[in-house]
Amino acid sequence: MSNLEKDPVEEVSTSPARDMCVLEPRDVPLGGPRAMTVRRTLPQRSRSLIGAWCFIDHYGPDPVATSGGMVVPPHPHTGLQTVSWLFAGEIEHRDSVGSLAPVRPGELNLMTAGRGIAHSEVSTPATTMLHGAQLWVALPDSAREGSPAFESYVPQPFSHGAATVRVFIGELAGAASSATVFTRLLGAQVDLPAGAGVEFDVDAGFEHGVLVDAGDASVDGMPVPKSHLAYVPPGRTTLTLSTGEEPARLLLLGGEPLGERIVMWWNFIGRTHDEIVEYRRAWQDEDGTGRFGAVDYDGARLPAPELPNVRLSPRG
């Protein structure tokens, strides 16, 4: 998914949270009078990254007849992976490496931008309700100039205590995903019935985030409202998720701290202001034969916003 803000915020973490806390979402419209609105919990000023996870948009459930669904024309990415995860509906993904793939509930769609890729995302005509999350992972310096790629993976649900778990990235509770990643990461959907709790063994070197998609949830005893993101710093060897009077659906994300400072603006991740300037210039000027390539799409590409009048600063 593109960041469609006309004036993208340069999120600089000035006093990063170091203790367990809850991060509030902010509403971001995806352009146009009938466009859907997403709830963004990462990045924000108190926290830029959780492991290498650098962007979390959460949307729906939205009736497409009201929201207009998702219509995101071709747009570029650099230096990141997009992780598409749906709870309801279907999206058609097209990209400049020739992929044409449906995004369906319970199926991971993972796009690696590397040095540059372009893609479009449009909800399908049969979709009446759209509900899901779009996540980005920052690539480490060693991988960010690699070749672009696309893959899909369908995790098999399994029971862990009272929970039903789907591991789409990394490893959890004895299950592992084959999805390609470039740093140590975790991504899983956890469904819990009302009045239940489950404990996971987790990597003490990871920091974790728990996004509450639906229901009534707590993380290690800390209440986390719907659509909010719990942040858990490194050091824990177990993590307990629990529910109250309502069942809950959660996304459990984690990873070892990236340990690199990044510059993130619009749909680009680089390391310097000048790199971002060059990525923007390439997208605006190229004809589909350069860094980003062309997408088989009936319509115009998204133009890049204007850069701010100040130099972009590294963060993380």
Residue-wise pLDDT for 19-30, tens only, equals 899 999 999 987
Beta-strand ranges (E) seen in 64-196 are 71-77, 80-88, 91-95, 100-103, 108-112, 117-123, 129-138, 149-153, 158-160, 163-169, 171-172, 175-176, 185-192
pTM of the model: 0.93
209: closest CA among 183, 238, 230, 236? Answer: 230
Taking the C-alpha atoms of residue 54 and residue 278, their distance in angstroms, rounded to an integer, is 21
> Is 10 a residue whose pLDDT tops 60?
no
Tokens representing 196 are: 């239940």
* pLDDT given for residue 15 in this prediction: 38
* pLDDT given for residue 49 in this prediction: 96
Residue-wise pLDDT for 152-171, tens only, equals 999 999 999 999 999 999 99
> Residue by residue, what is the 3-state secondary structure of 143-158?
CCCCCCEEEEECCCCE
Compute the half-sphere exposure of residue 137: CA atoms within 13 Å on the CB side of its CA: 32
Tokens representing 261 are: 């400072």
Domains in the chain, ordered, with CATH? 21-255 (2.60.120.10)
283: closest CA among 96, 77, 79, 80? Answer: 77
The helix or strand, by DSSP H or E, that contains position 309, with its residue range, turns out to be: none
Residue-wise pLDDT for 245-273, tens only, equals 999 999 999 999 999 999 999 999 999 99
Burial class (CB in 10 A: 0-12, 13-18, 19+), 204: exposed
C-alpha distances in Å from residue 204, one per residue of 169, 197, 232, 260 = 17, 20, 11, 20
Cβ atoms 208, 148 nearer than 8 A = no
Taking the C-alpha atoms of residue 166 and residue 146, their distance in angstroms, rounded to an integer, is 28
Degrees to nearest 5, angle at CA 134 with 305 and 304: 10
Cβ atoms 121, 83 nearer than 8 A = no
- Using 50, 70 and 90 to split pLDDT, how confident is the model at 3? low
Residue-wise pLDDT for 34-54, tens only, equals 567 899 999 988 899 999 999
274-286 exposure pattern, b = at least 16 Cβ within 10 A, e = fewer: ebbbebbebbeeb
Sequence-distant (6+) residues with CB within 8 A of 98 are: none
User: What average pLDDT score do residues 224-228 get?
Assistant: 97
> Is 11 a residue whose pLDDT tops 50?
no
Mark out the alpha helices in the chain (DSSP H runs). 64-67, 273-285
Cβ atoms 211, 56 nearer than 8 A = yes
Q: How many CB atoms lie within 10 A of CB 101?
A: 17
